[in-house]
Amino acid sequence: MNWALILAAFAVIIFSGCSGGDQRTDLDTPNSGTIHISVDETFRPVIDSQIEVFEALNPKAKIIAEYKSEAECFKDLMKDSTRMIIVTRGLTEQEEKFYKDSFSYYPSYAKIAYDAIAVIVNNNAPDSVFTMSKIRGILDGSTGDKQLAVFDGLKETSTIRFVIDSILKGKPFDPKKVFAVKNSQAVIDYVSTHDNVLGFVGVSWIGNKEDTSELSFLKKVRIASLECTCPDKTFVKPYQANIMTKRYPLVRGLYYILKENYNGLGGGFANFLQYEKGQLIFRRAYLWPAKMNFTIRTATLN
């Protein structure tokens, strides 16, 4: 008997089985596998909901989300371990070229919802109605009053970037008027104990009146009304209709950016976010869906 030939054949069988197992572990499909994503911390409540429903519909899928500043999310996009990021902007032409040179393909991205930055005040605050010039004056220190502003981090957050670009038009904050705490929940907690502070948070943290945790937040603080972008001299809150029509002045987009050049789990989750079930979750979270058309009707109360 040729024992050498038998042992060689046995070894081939063993190693073939090991190789096949490794491939099944490494590969994923649109509804199975495990991926890591990085998400702007501002959107933790709604993205947690999206992942919960997606995984319930796809039991073989596991999406591991890390919540951090927007700038950190973009840094993670360069890591092999991060498949997708969810942030408040798409890619610039320069970034598209950079990632094409780095990955040999263009990452895909799309707008999936519209968000708003809510301004919150303490329940005992004397004022909850603000013009945009008043908000600007508090942030740059030109008003001379004693009101302060608190953010979820002074550097690299999407809220800071948006406020500097859209409200201050590139001007710096007054360091004596503006300060930071750890995250969005810390902003809510701080405002709830200080009646001279304005807080800036994503509307998904306090907009969903069907979420028990967000209802508890709304017992701590009030949502301020801001000067409408419309011709009427009125003030509006970041309700869905005002986000959709952009009557509310602090509206921004929400995007996914996907680093995947095959039909994998990242693409499956991206499709989920863009199609009916994902879009309805955004709607329930009181953001405005970017991919589905919904009708707003005017109603009269008798």
Could you report the per-residue pLDDT of 244-288, keeping only the tens digit for each? Answer: 999 999 999 999 999 999 999 999 999 999 999 999 999 998 899
Homologous superfamily in CATH for domain 115-250: Periplasmic binding protein-like II (3.40.190.10)
Helix (H, G, I), strand (E, B) or coil at 80: coil
* Beta pairing class for 197-202 and 82-87: unpaired
Instruction: Tell me the pTM.
Output: 0.84
Q: What pLDDT, on the 0 to 100 scale, is given for residue 136?
A: 95
Q: How many CB atoms lie within 10 A of CB 144?
A: 7
* Structure confidence at residue 19 as a pLDDT band (50, 70, 90): very low
Q: What pLDDT, on the 0 to 100 scale, is given for residue 243?
A: 94
Instruction: Pull the structure tokens for residue 66.
Output: 């890390």
Instruction: Pull the structure tokens for residue 2.
Output: 């040729």
Q: How many CB atoms lie within 10 A of CB 21?
A: 10
Helix (H, G, I), strand (E, B) or coil at 238: coil
Element (H, E) at 278: helix 276-284
Helix (H, G, I), strand (E, B) or coil at 48: helix
Higher-confidence residue of 2 and 79: namely 79
CATH of segment(s) 28-114+252-289? 3.40.190.10
Question: Taking the alpha carbons of 155, 156, 157, 163 in that order, is the dihedral positive or negative?
Answer: positive
* Beta pairing class for 129-130 and 225-227: parallel
Q: What pLDDT, on the 0 to 100 scale, is given for residue 256?
A: 98
Q: What are phi and psi of 150, to 5 degrees?
A: -125, 140
* Structure confidence at residue 18 as a pLDDT band (50, 70, 90): very low
Task: Answer whether 201's CB lies under 8 Å from 120's CB.
Answer: yes
Mean pLDDT within 117-138: 94
Domain boundaries, the chain: 28-114+252-289, 115-250
Q: What pLDDT, on the 0 to 100 scale, is given for residue 156?
A: 78
- Helical H segments across 30-69, by residue range: 44-57
Q: What pLDDT, on the 0 to 100 scale, is given for residue 14?
A: 39
Mean per-residue pLDDT over the chain, rounded? 86
Decide if 28-114+252-289 and 115-250 have a common fold: yes
